[in-house]
């Protein structure tokens, strides 16, 4: 149930908090009754004198607010055994103060800021921007990373978390022997999915997403990659409708351009 109400409301993270009077059909029997939204941003309490049906009645609802800054891609790359590089892009930015890089050991639930992990944003911009951050304070194990998007007004949102597996003191021990492109996960997905791939030798790598008509939707990767295991997150933007999409990996060896690896896989977006 979504309650439209007159009154004063403020934004807390991705929820609305405040009070007002309910005026949303078809609940006309509660027309004009007072509405209070609890501090958790989810519980609306509707009350009114002389009517037990309204007094103390409550509904639970969630109203998600679209982030001002839209994340395009986010990936985590192992540079050495104990260093991780995060790369991300924005589709557009609006009042973007910047990004706080956060990480969580072993699970994607308990996050803490990475030391010196704030990256300034571009404020307001209608074009795409690329960012990078190197975490040199991580230990061995499986780590999950996410971005806290902070606006100039202090509101914030979180990106999808991405994993990185590190082994302190070991360099190159997990170098793949062959190129590979894996099935995205989750699949079907909404709004994001992770794509993993392996690079066996220094190569120029492109990873692109296409629709059913063969039209390019987005380029996720287009750069030189050293041998290693990689992952990138695809966030479905407003230009991606529900349906079947294909993602294509092409890796051309730098030392021998005649050696090219190509692989295509399918995924389903359900909005």
| Secondary structure (DSSP) of 229-261 | EEEEEEE--TT--SEEEEEEEEEEESS-TT-EE
pLDDT at 59 over 50: no
Whether 190 and 263 share a structural domain: yes
**pLDDT digits over 88-106, tens only?**
989 889 899 999 999 988 7
Tally Cβ neighbours within 10 Å of residue 8. 8
- Quick one: pLDDT at residue 238? 73
CATH number for position 181: 2.60.40.1220
Whether 39 and 74 share a structural domain: no
Reported as a pLDDT band with limits 50, 70 and 90, residue 231 is confident
Reported as a pLDDT band with limits 50, 70 and 90, residue 165 is low
Whether 269 and 183 share a structural domain: yes
Whether 53 and 71 share a structural domain: no
DSSP designation for 25:
T
What is the domain count for the chain? 3
Whether 82 and 158 share a structural domain: yes
Whether 80 and 165 share a structural domain: yes
Whether 91 and 182 share a structural domain: no
Whether 86 and 164 share a structural domain: yes
Cβ proximity of 92 and 69 under 8 Å:
yes
CATH number for position 88: 2.60.40.10
Provide the domain limits for residue 54: 5-60
Domain boundary among 60, 75, 102: 60
- Quick one: pLDDT at residue 228? 85
Tally Cβ neighbours within 10 Å of residue 4. 10
Cβ proximity of 232 and 221 under 8 Å:
yes
Whether 191 and 265 share a structural domain: yes
- Quick one: pLDDT at residue 30? 44
Closest CA to 86 of 145, 165, 148: 145
Whether 89 and 102 share a structural domain: yes
Whether 147 and 230 share a structural domain: no
pLDDT at 191 over 70: yes
Q: Which residue has the tokens 């529900």?
A: 242
pLDDT at 209 over 50: yes
| Sheet containing 43-47, strands listed edge to edge, beginning at the edge strand earlier in sequence | 5-12, 15-22, 34-37, 43-47, 57-60
In the chain, what percentage of residues exceed pLDDT 70?
69
- Quick one: pLDDT at residue 80? 60
Whether 72 and 159 share a structural domain: yes
Reported as a pLDDT band with limits 50, 70 and 90, residue 169 is very low
Which segment of 19-28, 160-169, 257-266 scores lowest on mean pLDDT? 19-28
In the chain, what percentage of residues exceed pLDDT 90?
30
- Quick one: pLDDT at residue 225? 92
**pLDDT digits over 104-113, tens only?**
887 667 899 9
The token duo for 243 is 């349906």
């Amino acid at each position: 149930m979504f309650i439209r109400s007159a009154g004063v409301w403020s934004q807390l993270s991705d929820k609305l908090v405040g009070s007002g009077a309910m005026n949303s059909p078809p609940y006309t029997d509660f027309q004009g009754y007072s509405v209070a939204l609890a501090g958790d941003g989810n519980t609306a309490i509707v009350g009114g004198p002389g009517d037990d049906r309204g007094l103390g009645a409550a509904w639970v609802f969630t109203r998600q607010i679209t982030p001002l800054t839209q994340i395009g891609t986010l990936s985590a790359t192992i540079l050495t055994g104990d260093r991780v590089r995060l790369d991300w892009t924005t589709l557009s930015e609006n009042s973007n103060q910047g990004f706080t890089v956060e990480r969580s050991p072993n699970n994607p639930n308990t996050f803490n800021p990475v030391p010196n992990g704030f990256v300034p944003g571009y404020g307001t911009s209608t074009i795409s921007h690329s960012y990078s951050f190197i975490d040199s304070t991580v230990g061995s194990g499986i780590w999950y990373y996410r971005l806290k998007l902070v606006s100039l007004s202090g509101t914030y949102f979180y990106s999808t978390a991405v994993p990185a597996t590190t082994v302190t003191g070991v360099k190159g021990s997990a170098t793949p022997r062959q190129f590979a492109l894996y099935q995205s996960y989750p699949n079907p997905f909404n709004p994001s999915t992770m794509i993993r791939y392996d690079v066996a030798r220094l190569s120029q790598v492109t990873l692109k997403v296409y629709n059913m008509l063969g039209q390019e939707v987005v380029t996720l990767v287009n750069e030189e990659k050293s041998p290693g295991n990689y992952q990138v997150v695809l966030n479905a933007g407003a230009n991606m409708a529900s349906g079947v999409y294909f993602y294509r990996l092409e890796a051309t060896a730098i030392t021998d351009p005649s050696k090219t690896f190509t692989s295509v896989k399918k995924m389903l977006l359900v909005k």
